[in-house]
Chain A
Amino acid sequence: MSTANTLKPKEQLKISASKRYQKRSQGAEIWRRLKKNKGAMVGLAIVVILALIAIFADVILDYDAEVIKQNIPQRMQLPSREHILGTDEVGRDVFFRLLYGTRFSLSVGIVAVAIALAIGVVLGSIAGYFGGVTEEIIMRATDIFASIPNILMGIVIVAALGASTVNLMIAVGISSVPQFIRVTRAAVLTVRYSDYIEASRAIGLKEARIIFGHIIPNCLSPIIVQTTLRVASAIISASALSFLGLGVPQPSPEWGSMLSSGRQYIRTNSLLTFFPGLAIMITVLALNLLGDGLRDALDPKLRR
């Protein structure tokens, strides 16, 4: 304040203008760094396209007539002008099914990660913020939970709840919780002792408000990166469980279950196995590229 008072009004104006510029530029700066990363931009473009396909799947395709309706006379056709990627064992157009399947895979991945994010961020920030016995209990429980491999945890949960799309989301989501707890706790520990947290405590803010209003917003970078990368691995886990017959049931065009039914015709028509896997790989690759790019853009110090 004292320095500001000695300045002429015009200079004060300049400072506040430059401050505003700085504030606006934080997002712009991240975007500028992200734009420079070709891989990340390719990833982002693919993710946006896939998201649009998933959102408008109903507009593009008629689910009952074009996605799940059997058409036995047209079965097992090779790619042609009429069916770009051919047809499957009951005559359904593979390309249409893959397009519609985007909706299943993306929504399972996103909902699963949202579940993991909600639980993980709350527990992780509680552990990081309060420390002591609370932290010890949460982190030891996390260790125990994390020592069960993801896919086994998914299998256990689906076996208990039964195979369905919602249970698949729950299974994949719950098995990704430990990673979010760990990342959030580590991030919270880095800001927990900052002066501004001390200050908000000094002015008597409630703890919930400190955690959710001041700590978490300052821990967002690693959480955002983790979220992007986790959606990628959630899509793989979900398709793996569907492939094992423990996920989205037939005849829904989920990529993993398409792979699983295509597998029975591996000797006669291997394309039925090839395309769904390719769709999974492209989606996961795009998310991984974007996640890596975001990590570099959000925190240049972390660059490997």
Chain B
Amino acid sequence: MYRYIFNRLLLIIPVIIGVSFLIFAILDQAPGDVVNVITGGGATQEEVEELRAELGLDRPLLVRYAEYMGGLLRGDLGKSYISGRSVFEVYSERLPATLKLAVASILVSIILSIPLGIYAAVHSGKIGDNVSMVAALLGLSMPNFWLGLILIITFSLRLKLFPSGGDHGLISLVLPAITIGTGLTATLTRITRSSMLDVIRQDYLRTARAKGVSERKVINKHALKNALIPIITIIGTQFGNVIGGAVLTETVFAWPGVGRLIIDSIYARDIPMVTGSIILKTITISIVLLGVDLLYAAVDPRVRAQYSKGGS
């Protein structure tokens, strides 16, 4: 087990280096030179050169990248051009709100999708199955920022049940969590259904029924337990999409998370803030995925068996 954790930790390092270099290099091409932003465009050529040297922008890309990554290790990703605050600090302030939203959305979709998927699988081919599959496809086809706006129009402007934005405690989490959760619910319902259908055809379920186990117990205990494995995998891999997609939902709901921070910084052309928060966000996702993988290995003996073989 320790060996596996160690190996997985080693594997994440090239990913982090690759990802951060990619983002750093692409954003380095960004137009709207920072110097212009700072000076307001009214500086002489000499002043511009001086400022560029002062900010260290005249050195080669690789050198600046190496320095940047050195800073990352010390928790120092430079300062925001606009507010002058440390990028790392601002990011850490905003991260909990995004994680809270992600966890809430995943909870919402688990609660909705697993029963729905089981129902669809058990009643496969019947009207209930068809209705839930059409609903799932609708959920997948909806742009989530639009869904968020529709929810705001309906539940906060018309019915005045929930706040339309900002973070005012648990109640303001409801609409954004549904917004992000809908697409995920659709995906998970489809996976749950197909996974249950696979399991339902297995011989050991026929055996259980032949032994006289009640149908309810066959489905809820024998079938679900085995069908859950692919479902859990998908939940894990969807975590990245949830955090990534949260950019839009946070913008729509004025949610004070990392996604909104990124968008605001892009509008303000605050490149160190953009670079820093996108790199940190991607690293956050990789670490969460690693955690899910480890959890998964801890739960499923088959995965453990696989890596103890591979690790030797």
Question: How many CB-defined contacts (below 8 Å) exist between A and B?
Answer: 127
Contact B248 A244 (CB under 8 A): yes
- The interface bits of chain B over 244-277 (1 if a CB of A lies within 8 angstroms of the residue's CB, else 0) are 1101100100000000001100110000001000
Most chain A C-beta atoms within 10 Å of own C-beta, residue among B145, B150, B289: B145
Flag whether B204 is at the interface (Cβ < 8 A): no
Q: A125–B19 Cα gap in the complex (Å)? A: 24
Q: Establish whether residues B248 and A144, one from each chain, have CB atoms under 8 Å apart when the complex forms.
A: no
Closest 4 CB pairs of A and B: A149-B244, A277-B146, A144-B18, A285-B141
Chain B residues 1-60 with CB under 8 Å of chain A are 14-15, 18-19, 22-23, 26-31
* CB-based contact A240/B243 at 8 Å: no
Q: Bound complex: CA of A161 vs CA of B244, how far in Å?
A: 21
Q: A277-B150, A281-B142, A288-B141 are in contact. Are A152 and B244 (CB under 8 A)?
A: yes
Mostly, the A contact residues are helix
B262: min CB distance to chain A, Å: 7
B contact residues vs A (CB 8 Å cutoff): 14-15, 18-19, 22-23, 26-31, 134, 137-138, 140-143, 145-147, 149-150, 152-153, 157, 190, 193-194, 197, 240-241, 243-245, 247-248, 251, 262-263, 266-267, 274, 278, 281-282, 285-286, 289
Asked whether, in the complex, the Cβ of A281 is within 8 Å of the Cβ of B149, the reply is no
Interface residue ranges, A against B (CB under 8 Å)? 39, 140-141, 143-145, 147-152, 155-157, 159-162, 232, 236, 239-240, 243-246, 256, 259, 263, 266-267, 270, 273-274, 276-277, 280-281, 284-285, 288-289, 292, 304
Shortest Cβ distance from B137 into chain A, in angstroms? 6
A157 to B140 CA separation, bound complex (whole angstroms) = 25
Residues of chain A within 8 A (CB-CB) of B263 are 155, 244
Chain A nearest CB, measured from B82 CB (Å): 15
What is the chain A residue whose CB lies nearest that of B245?
A151
Instruction: Report Cα–Cα, A285/B194, bound state, in Å.
Output: 20
Residues of B within 8 A of A147 (CB): 15, 19, 240, 282, 285-286, 289
Interface of B, helix, strand, loop or mixed by DSSP: helix
A156/B285 in contact, CB under 8 A: no
CB-CB nearest in chain A for B134: A39
Question: Which residues from chain A contact B267 at a C-beta distance below 8 Å?
Answer: 245
Complex alpha-carbon distance, A132 and B281, angstroms: 32
The reply to whether B137 and A151 contact each other, CB–CB distance below 8 Å, is no
State in angstroms the CA–CA spacing of A164 and B142 once bound together.
Answer: 24
Q: How far is the CA of A240 from the CA of B274 in the complex (A)?
A: 18
Task: List B contacts of A162 (CB < 8 A).
Answer: 31
